[in-house]
Amino acid sequence: MATDKTTLGLLVGNRGFFPDHLVDSGRKQVLDVLGKAGIEVVCLDTNDTKFGAVETRDEAEKCGRLFRDRADDIQGVLVTLPNFGDERGVADALRFGQVEVPVLIHAFPDDPKKMSGDDRRDSFCGKMSVCNNLTQYGIRYSLTTNHTVDPESDEFLTELEQFAAVSRIVTGLKGATIGSIGTRPSAFKTVRYSEKILEASGISVEVVDLSEILFGVEALKDDDSRVKDRLSAVKEYLNIEGAPEDALTKIAKLSVVIDEWCEQNHIAATAFQCWTSIQANLGICSCASMSMMSDRLQSSACEVDVMGAIAMHTMALASNKPSALLDWNNNFGDDPDKCVMFHCSNLPKSVLPDPKISTHDILGDEVGVENTWGTCVGRVSPGPMTYARLSTDDLGGEVVGYVGGGEFTTDPLETFGGYGVAQVPNLQDLLRFICRMGFEHHVAINLSEVAGAVHEAWANYFGWGIYKHS
């Protein structure tokens, strides 16, 4: 589950024949900035090593031991170079620490007015040496956009924010278990994927037959305290005007059963068989239950789209905001950079303000409208958004995907389900890419700007083949 708390390991580099007073002041600067940013820090104390920095092998071992001891807490490591830094000390500390989280390399800028031997940093050069050694050691790392960055600048805060998001993504996805509830709709070969390829990246899939969930729902009594509590939560969460009490009670029961299964199996996100068995056997749609899960950052994708669920979960980790799964669905007039994004829908309340419960306009003719209560209807909030998609390339044996940014507009549109008008720069190029590469029509969205963090995490730390659209 995503959290707004981020803990970083801090490794301060030093090289003795460069001005070490810069290390003392630089460490204090960076710690102050991290504290103001709300980031918790694990680093050597000034009693552990000179200025709490790392230069020698002994100091590298102390730092490595600290990082190993706090491995369960540390989501990323910031390496900062107030002076040139000792590249071997940095690399050894990360190796001794068995660091398997993202690493950001930061170098202080020199002041052209302070280029004497007493004040010159040479971090510009030292950063290259650190990166050279990390490459030799096989340690993956991230870089700031500009080679050197003033730690007290807004630019550095932006870099920290993105790196914290990258760190949450990597630590949140590695070892994650995705719940696959039911089988994909037979007509949807588009959402096929490889569990084995995901397992190779450290992501597991736990499956459960939909019948087990349905049996669990049938076994719950209306007067069960868990059902009563959840029914109250459903009524508070949605505008339930016109919805029959029996359908709302079934939605509450479904939520209880799914949540308990997820808790028992340590599920991070789910993909659900949302049609048509559940309508035929239970007489409701699962959309409302899924919407409530996504809204509390336990992303839930429809149509057993496991890869869509992972993309949703990724952006929830990055932004600490709920994600949704939509279709690239319609053109919007003749504007080449706008389209309609839509689903039936299970969009979370944070994406779909004041959602109204309704019946399923598409499935109603097939299974009976009275059996389709539970969809969440409304329009997506306008503003910036990130979109992302993952697939397994089963023939190539790898995970592939794309990510980019755009916005939801306020252009007039009247339709049903959960929907929004999206504006994406160079949309036609993106659509050609999606079609040419054979990606699904589903895409995960998040009302945030985290495309850079998602790309860095997926491409650099997982080594997936990811296209970043601009």
Report the pLDDT value the prediction gives residue 188, as an integer from 0 to 100: 85
Task: Round the CA-based radius of gyration of the chain to a whole number and report it.
Answer: 25
pLDDT-based confidence at residue 4 (cuts at 50, 70, 90): low
Spatial distance between the Cα atoms of 338 and 35, rounded to a whole number of angstroms: 41
Chain mean pLDDT for the chain: 97
Q: Does residue 180 register a pLDDT over 60?
A: yes
The yes-or-no verdict on residue 215 having pLDDT over 70 is: yes
Same domain, 324 and 443: yes
Domain that holds residue 235: 177-468
Average pLDDT value for residue range 307-311: 98
47-66 average pLDDT score: 97
Q: How far apart are CA 166 and CA 76, in angstroms?
A: 8
The mean pLDDT value for 371-381 works out to: 97
Q: What is the mean pLDDT of residues 175-185?
A: 96
Q: State pTM to two decimals.
A: 0.97
Specify if 236 maps to a domain.
yes
Compute the average pLDDT of residues 121-126: 97
Query: 11-37, pLDDT tens digit by residue?
Result: 999 998 898 899 999 999 999 999 999
Claim to verify: residue 325 and residue 460 sit in the same structural domain = yes
> What three-state secondary structure class fits 237?
helix
Q: How many domains does the chain have?
A: 2
**Are 397 and 248 found together in one domain?**
yes
> For a pLDDT cut of 70, what percent of the chain falls above it?
99
Query: Is 88's pLDDT higher than 90?
Result: yes
Burial (CB < 10 A; 0-12, 13-18, 19+), residue 149, is buried
Q: Is residue 2's pLDDT more than 70?
A: no
Same-domain status, 225 and 148: no
107, 191: one domain: no
Which pLDDT band holds residue 5 (cuts at 50, 70, 90)? confident
Q: Does 377 reside within a domain?
A: yes
Residue 242 included in any domain: yes
Cis peptide bond prior to 345, omega within 30° of 0 = yes
Which of the listed residues 121, 155, 173 is the one where a domain comes to its end?
A: 173
Task: Determine, yes or no, domain membership for 428.
Answer: yes
| 327 φ/ψ angles, rounded to the nearest 5 degrees | -100, 140
For 411-434, write each residue's pLDDT tens digit. Answer: 999 999 999 999 999 999 999 999
Same-domain check for residues 163 and 193: no
Model confidence at 1: pLDDT above 60: no
Same domain? 315 vs 461: yes
Mean pLDDT of 35-58: 97
- Tell me how far apart the alpha carbons of residues 390 and 311 are, in angstroms, rounded to a whole number: 6
Is 1 a domain residue? no
Residues 6+ away with beta carbon under 8 Å from 63: 11, 44, 49, 54, 93, 96, 97
Residue 143 resides in a domain: yes
Q: Do residue 21 and residue 36 come from a single domain?
A: yes
In a domain, residue 237? The reply is: yes
Domain identity same for 117 and 218: no
CATH of the domain at 328: 3.40.275.10
> 3-state DSSP call for residue 271?
strand
Which of 173, 199, 232 is the endpoint of a domain? 173
Determine which helix (DSSP H) or strand (DSSP E) holds 458, and give its type and residue range: none
- Looking at 146, 173, 200, which one is the last position of a domain? 173
342 closest CA partner among 327, 361, 357, 352? 327
Same-domain check for residues 182 and 127: no
Burial of residue 207, with CB atoms counted within 10 A of its CB: 0-12 exposed, 13-18 middle, 19 or more buried = middle
Q: In this structure, are 263 and 408 located in the same domain?
A: yes
Q: Does 328 map to a domain?
A: yes
| Both structure tokens of 94 | 């990360």
Q: Per-residue confidence at 185, pLDDT binned at 50, 70, 90?
A: confident
If asked whether residues 168 and 308 sit together in one domain, one would say no
CB 402 within 8 A of CB 469: yes
